[in-house]
Copies of this chain bind each other. A is one copy, B any other.
């Protein structure tokens, strides 16, 4: 009954096997390994983007921060949802890497930026004004931090507004696989065809040890990205071990298979909660994350029975009046089982 995060899961066994297979002989370092050539080709294939630049890094935060820094100047505003990961969970990495860009927070229900709010934020100022931070870029998260999933059409609506101001668009896809499985959209439809310029394509939360790809659809900025990655200390010397993980992830659509399990378990959990009398869903459960409300007393019971999950936001403490309603954040992963879910539901 472990639902604390998809990052507390192990890696998929095939990933470890892939590392073992890659661990023979001498190979070019710093990305010059032939496995990376395969990965690059495979990613381009998956995204139907034969020109895309593809890079591997070890954390989602850095995939995001380097993407932002490559496309947004220090005096730029990054428009993102008020609860975007880049705003709330990265200790200011975007500000650090961009050299001090400003995150402008856009509200919207269920973790999705409201297009009208984005439009309003972009509409002013009416003229170039040196006193203001300039419009820089837009960053969208899919799956959102609240577990909802944008459709390609919803993404395109936001990127269309960005395009009116010639702004580039970043997609934080730490849970991109879950969004693809949930929406049934193709990777191309969810990204460049919907107006996305650069994607953080997550692997770590979905069965890898620690690899994220950055996919830059317009390769003009690729060399700058490489310099920023190196300068950030993020160019791995024994790069083959990142490549091997990503190759395994993409082989036989493993990435989608793992996400499918996570999403199915998320759905099962949500369904059980919705049917319960003591609990209520807080947001729609589109993928593998469930937010739900129930009284503190039940939290206490569940956690003492071994359920592991966060009380949202900020890991609120269990002390306090029994009847006060607190929100649970429950995350399923590739390794969550029906048994886990059902045992948990029984506790409620």
Residues of A whose CB lies within 8 Å of any CB of B are: 2, 4-5, 7-11, 13, 16, 19-20, 23-30, 57-62, 64-66, 73-75, 88-93, 95-103, 124-134, 204-205, 209-210, 223-224, 226-238, 241, 308, 313-317
Contact = CB atoms under 8 A, between A and B. Distances in A.
Nearest to A95: B100
A131 B96 contact: no
Contact of A92 (B65, B100, B127, B235): B100
Nearest to A124: B314
A314 B7 contact: no
B130 A93 contact: no
A206 to B, nearest CB: 11
A231 B75 contact: yes
B233 A234 contact: yes
Nearest to A32: B8
A128 B226 CA distance: 11
Given A89-B132, A91-B131, A133-B92, A13 B4 contact: no
A62 B231 CA distance: 9
10 contacts: A8-B27, A19-B209, A58-B236, A73-B227, A75-B92, A89-B131, A91-B133, A95-B95, A95-B102, A204-B238
Contacts of A97: 233
A238 B226 contact: no
A5 B124 CA distance: 20
A31 to B, nearest CB: 9
A227 B127 contact: no
A238 B10 CA distance: 8
Contacts of A231: 74-75, 90-93, 96, 100
Given A8-B28, A26-B308, A98-B100, 11 more contacts: A5-B29, A7-B29, A7-B237, A9-B238, A10-B25, A64-B233, A91-B133, A92-B101, A95-B102, A130-B226, A204-B238
A99 B74 contact: yes
A82 to B, nearest CB: 11
A62 B26 contact: no
A127 B314 CA distance: 8
Contacts of A100: 92, 95-96, 98-100, 231
Nearest to A88: B132
